[in-house]
Amino acid sequence: MEKLVNPGRIMFALGIIALAILGIKYQDFIVGRPPAWSETFSAIKPALAYVTAILLIICCVAIIFRKYVFIASLVIAALTFIFSVLRHLPVFMADWVNAYKSMAIVGGALIVANSFIAKESSNPAGLKARESWKNGLFTVGCILVAAFFIAAGYAHFKWASGVKELIPTYIPFRLFWVYFCGVCLFAGGIGILIPQTRKWAALLSGIMVLGWFFLFHIPRFLVNTNDPSDRMGVCESFLFSGIFFLLAGMTARKK
């Protein structure tokens, strides 16, 4: 399972690159689906889209090729926090699922950063500080990712009839799968918070989300390739499955 670490990081990076490219197309920072800018800031959207997209792509390329990865991951986390999480907070209750999603992407970037912190140090104090950083980033990342999964699980029950309509009609017993996936989301989120179950919770969650990528998001995208939500859904499901595979591999490696 330790071999999932690098593929997971690459999947995360590729998903962010795809969202960055879409951000250029939509002339905005769209990672985490933040709400629309107020009229005061609407004029800066095009410039912001290009600058942040370039930074995200550079950081993701660094992650893929393992160059300055710790800094690159923190830059992705910071950009997502500033231009997505903070935009969600004033209107949190209006779109709390995507608010939690933006926090989870920040958490995923922190987990990626954690996976690249070097363990070697000739200075015991430096090694202790580095381990403290590692544990802190890892814990915060797990909490943010788990919170999103638990919130998404609740949303499956709260808006079950609406979620059912999002499932392609070729899938039978759609309402059953809405509730079943809601339970799986709850279980995955709680399992990630518990160290003893984190490895398997992350692995199974990664498999589930990757299944959605192939069975749900790609078919919806192919039906209407111009739908912004379906375009982002393809990217998001791929990067989140990468986060879970990375988390599973890291947990296995720690043990």
Report the distance separating Cα 110 and Cα 15, nearest Å: 16
| pLDDT tens per residue across all 255 residues of the chain | 889 999 999 999 999 999 999 999 999 999 999 998 887 777 788 899 999 999 999 999 999 999 999 999 999 999 999 999 999 999 999 999 999 999 999 999 999 999 886 554 455 655 566 667 778 899 999 999 999 999 999 999 999 999 999 888 888 999 999 999 999 999 999 999 999 999 999 999 999 999 999 999 999 999 989 999 999 999 999 999 999 999 999 998 776
Predicted local distance difference test score (pLDDT) of residue 136: 87
Range of the domain at 178: 2-254
Q: Where are the alpha helices (DSSP H) in the chain?
A: 5-26, 45-64, 69-80, 86-88, 96-115, 124-158, 160-166, 174-193, 198-212, 218-223, 228-254
Query: In the chain, how many domains are there?
Result: 1
**CA end-to-end span of the chain, whole Å?**
11
Q: What is the pTM of this model?
A: 0.94
Short-list 6, 146, 142, CA closest to 63: 6
Nearest to 63 by CA among 109, 31, 19, 32: 109
Contact 52, 81 (CB under 8 A): no
Please tell me the predicted confidence (pLDDT) of residue 121. 47
pLDDT of residue 116: 80
CA 193 to chain centre: 16
Token match 């995360």: residue?
12
